[in-house]
Amino acid sequence: MNFGDKEFNDLLKTTDANFNWGVSSSALQTEGSYNSEGKGLSIWDVFSKQKKKINNGHHPYVATDFYNNYKTDIDLIAELKIPNFRTSISWPRIFPAGNGKINQEGVDFYNRMFDYCLAKNITPWITLYHWDLPYKLEQNGGWKNREIVNHFIDYVAMCADLFGDRIKNWMVLNEPIVFTGAGYFLGVHAPGKKGLKNFLPALHHAAICQAQGIRVLKSQLKNSNVGTTFSFSHIESYSQKEKDIKAALKADALVNKLFIEPLLGQGYPFKEIPFLQSIENYMIAGDEKLLHEVPDFVGVQNYTKEVVKHSFFTPYLNAKIIPATKRKVPTTTMQWEIFPESIYRILKKVADYKLVKSIVVTENGASFADEIVNGKINDHQRIHFLKNYLSMCLKAKSEGVPLDGYFVWSATDNFEWAEGYYPKFGLIHVDFETQKRIIKESGFWYKNLITQSAKNKHEIL
């Protein structure tokens, strides 16, 4: 669906003074300085050294050099009038071994960066785990080892103690279905493990950690706003055949229900995914209660939809995704289908959970092949994408969905995991050889949108 300017502006008026406009990024994807000033290695630092794991042999060792360029990037965010900046804390920069001795130089960096954000009237929103597990912990089993729960609790408690005087908005985990599924089942992300024997304990311990992290933050920081983020994809059946419909329901449960439903007290979706019953091998008495802790907000991250059909040869799920390229639909350079209605349907679905009182879109954006012409980047495709997806968000809000914010992924172009530096998601272009920044036209568009939203609020008042 395409939205005209009048319709879009009418939807924009649904935002009020408490609506949070922002941009997102993460430590591993931007900071660089991977082995300097006391930082320990992360699983991605080690994984990136393995042959053919990352596109074009890329690695995150320098990335956008945010560790040294944070003032430049925060100044650009301020120039674009973006009031909220979501990023993450690098666990191995705080605890090089994952636990034990603190790295004071890492603490000092985050103190400087958070203070600079606040000096520029930018509110930091902080993710505690955005996939960069300390490698020392992985050597002892990582997310498969139940000891990770205690290590994570200690890490969260320390971050709350160190930074809670300035940070109000927290996200515990980023997209747990992705870092457990891609990292411990498919092996395409760090640490590169495969199979159900790795996936099931990893997902269970991550599910406990997301609830425990919320508990710790809310107990230590009384006025905090604590959530966690989920990767959601709208799932459709390839046909109306019963087998395809069942396959789509299984995929939907795996992608969209596996972590949020235990958190909300509904337990794992065993009915839709029978093979999950084996997770009981890793559960101990009291785990059902540990999994349940209602967040202050749910972070929704959506980019696309998936079409699923039955597959006899796919183990466990008997379902497979039909790629967008085979369906000949419009895509981004990630080969993800452009389907704005996906985020509308996801927001409506999440809002149907009775315990969800607030939703923030903590990531939404698109990768396109940006081109510099006369020193400018006219990324009209990205503007079109953001306008239509945001319109769908605001449509959902106008229909009663408790949507309280929208964050674009991402602030700058950055290291995009196994895809390396090829995908360009940023509102700000980065030349990774020179570290030169250029604000894209989408950045100026977003600035104007935020300005218009503030004007609308002023006119209403």
Distance CA 361, CA 236 (A): 21
Residue 115: both structure tokens together: 């203070």
Which amino acid is located at 338 in the chain? I
Distance CA 421, CA 288 (A): 40
Q: Which of 31, 138, 175, 306 is catalytic?
A: 175
Alpha carbon distances (Å) from 454 to 15, 439, 460 = 9, 22, 10
Task: Burial-class residue 62 by CB neighbours within 10 Å (0-12, 13-18, 19+).
Answer: middle
Q: For residue 359, list its beta bridge partners.
A: 298, 403
| 363 labelled catalytic | yes
Task: Burial-class residue 147 by CB neighbours within 10 Å (0-12, 13-18, 19+).
Answer: middle
Distance CA 271, CA 269 (A): 6
Q: Per residue, what are the HEC states of 8-40? A: HHHHHCCCCCCCEEEEECCHHHHCCCCCCCCCC
| 441 labelled catalytic | no
Residue 298: both structure tokens together: 């749910």
Q: Which of 138, 236, 306, 363 is catalytic?
A: 363
Catalytic residue positions, numbered: 175, 363
